[in-house]
Amino acid sequence: MTKKAENQKEKIIRKGKQEKIKNNKICIIYNYLYIMEINKYKSIAFITIFFIFIIFFYMLIEKEFFTNIETVNFYVITMGNEDRLQNIKNQIEKMNNNNDTYKVNIDKIDAVVGKNLDLDQLIKDGILTPKIYDKENSFNPKLENRKNEIGCCLSHYKTYETIANNNSKNSKYSVVFEDDFDVCDKFLYELDKIITDTINEKIDFDIIMLAIIGNSGEKIYSNIEKINCENSPCYYAHAYLINNKSIDKILDAMKYIDNIADVQIFQKHNEGKIKVLRLESSIVNQNSTYTTIRNN
């Protein structure tokens, strides 16, 4: 082979090597760009999954999980007035709309109509105090309104009897409402917390008033307090929690009527017949300023 031919061959080989190097560089760049593109989509996917997880976790935190609400039965005492029935419906909707995990059902208790009562017969039967006719006591000055107040007491007692008849292992607690009740927005959550606190802290009770007018007592735990009604009266019985295991004790304590319903509950506590606690902050209000029992 001539020198010229050898030079030509070397040029061809060198050119081939250069082309190969060039192609390799192109392949490396292409592979790099491909990997970068894949990583970009991986990053987008990772970020998307991360944000989905954050949203799910936030929803999980916000979602109310109840521990003890399913062990509660709800009752409302009502005369069946149209506006009060509408209020009951509104309150059920409020409770159900403000939680995602539990649907409330409230059993209606037909109230005892006071104007139809024979007070003398109730006295003879040992159900009512003869002091119902005295001028100086907690009852309303008007006799007809006193009948309504006795009807209120009998209505609450009728509810206790219903609780006793319905008592089962799946129903450990009962909430009693009067039909002018107005629950707070987080009522079920607050109620569940109260019950959970009594269980975890081993707080014994027969009744916890979910709303009360009266002096605060010694704090027991969180929102739960002792009542302080010995030196000044306490009022309100439009919402309270009953420990169902105590229902027979409550029936025995409340079977003789010697005061208006709410005062009598606190009175029996002062006498040591039942143990009543209260909340520092009420979780149930009244829709009406004054109960119709005293004014009708």
Is the backbone of residue 38 left (phi > 0), alpha (psi -120 to 50) or beta?
alpha
pLDDT at 39: 65
Q: In terms of pTM, does the model score above 0.85?
A: no
pLDDT band at 287 (very low <50, low <70, confident <90, very high): confident
Q: What is the pLDDT of residues 109-155, one digit of tens each?
A: 999 999 999 999 999 999 999 999 886 667 888 888 999 999 999 99
Could you tell me which of 208, 176, 174, 211 has the C-alpha nearest to residue 194?
208
Question: Beta-carbon neighbour count of residue 138 at 10 Å?
Answer: 15
The encoded tokens of residue 62 equal 């916000």
Residues 6+ apart with CB under 8 A from 133: 119, 143
Cβ pair 147, 114 in contact under 8 A: yes
Distance CA 94, CA 264 (A): 31
Using one digit for the tens of pLDDT, what is the confidence trace for 34-70? Answer: 666 666 665 665 666 665 655 554 444 444 568 899 9
Residues 202-233: pLDDT tens digits? 999 999 999 988 777 889 999 999 998 877 77
Give the pLDDT confidence score for residue 28 in this predicted structure.
65
Interval 147-192: pLDDT, tens = 999 999 999 999 999 999 987 656 899 999 999 999 999 999 999 9
CA of 289: how far to CAs of 27, 30, 104, 184, in Å? 84, 80, 26, 17
Task: Quote the mean pLDDT of the chain.
Answer: 84
Cβ burial of 202 (10 Å; 0-12, 13-18, 19+) is: exposed
Six-digit token string for 219: 């704090």
Q: What is the mean pLDDT of residues 72-85?
A: 96
